[in-house]
């Protein structure tokens, strides 16, 4: 393990790069999930609660 030398900015630069990258990844994930919830809710045999919890795949066709 290396110790930080006073004046070494590598940990700060790493943090400044990692935090915005994590924010972008989180928002990208959220933007792809939102349309999928609408599509899942429109499928036969599902409702909004099933779409949000992922229980839509557990619905059995009762024909």
Question: In this structure, what token pair is assigned to residue 42?
Answer: 């429109």
Instruction: Please report whether residue 57 resides in a domain.
Output: no
DSSP string of 2-42? PPPPTT--HHHHHHHHHHHHHHHHHHHHHHHHHHHHHHHHH
Range of the domain at 47: 22-51
Q: What per-residue confidence (pLDDT) applies to 13?
A: 93
16 domain residue, yes or no: no
> Token pair for residue 10?
């590598």
Q: Would you state the pLDDT for residue 19?
A: 97
Average pLDDT along the chain: 77
pLDDT digits (tens, 9 = 90+) for 6-21: 778 889 999 999 999 9
Residue 37 lies in a domain: yes
> How many separate domains does the chain show?
1
Q: Tell me which residues of the chain have a pLDDT lower than 50.
A: 63
Q: What is the pTM of this model?
A: 0.50
Please tell me the predicted confidence (pLDDT) of residue 39.
Answer: 80
CB 51 within 8 A of CB 40: yes
For residue 10, being part of any structural domain is answered with no
How many Å apart are CA 40 and CA 62, to the nearest integer? 18
């Amino acid at each position: 393990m290396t110790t930080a030398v006073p004046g070494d900015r590598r940990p700060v630069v790493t943090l400044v790069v990692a935090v915005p990258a994590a924010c972008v990844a989180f928002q990208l994930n959220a933007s792809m999930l939102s349309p999928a919830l609408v599509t899942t809710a429109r499928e036969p045999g599902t409702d909004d609660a099933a779409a949000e919890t992922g229980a839509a795949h557990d619905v059995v066709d009762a024909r």
